[in-house]
Amino acid sequence: MKTKQFNLAEAKAKLSPLVDQAARGESVVIAKAGLPTAKLGPLEAATKKIRFGVLTGTLSKRTLRKA
């Protein structure tokens, strides 16, 4: 997929559709005076790993009664 380039004025006028393109996974380069200045693209989804058993053996009934 080819990255599209827009000048700043055009990007300002079409910001909402450009954000929609980024949400679909496309990248857009925004240029100022013909020089690429910024890149608009999708965010990487944060993956949260679940770790089971992390507190195993650290809590006891005695510990909970003191709290």
For strands 35-40 and 4-7, give the pairing.
unpaired
Task: Identify whether 52 is part of a domain.
Answer: no
Within-domain flag for 13: yes
CATH number at residue 3: 3.40.1620.10
Does residue 29 belong to any structural domain of this protein?
yes
Is residue 60 assigned to a domain? no
Q: Is 50 inside a domain boundary?
A: no
Tokens representing 7 are 């000048």
pLDDT in tens, the chain (67 residues): 678 999 999 999 999 999 999 999 999 999 999 999 999 999 887 677 888 877 777 767 766 676 5
Provide the domain limits for residue 32. Answer: 1-42
Provide the whole-model pTM. Answer: 0.61
d(CA 52, CA 62): 22
**Torsion of Cα atoms, 19 then 25 then 27 then 28, to 10°:** -20
Domain total in the chain: 1
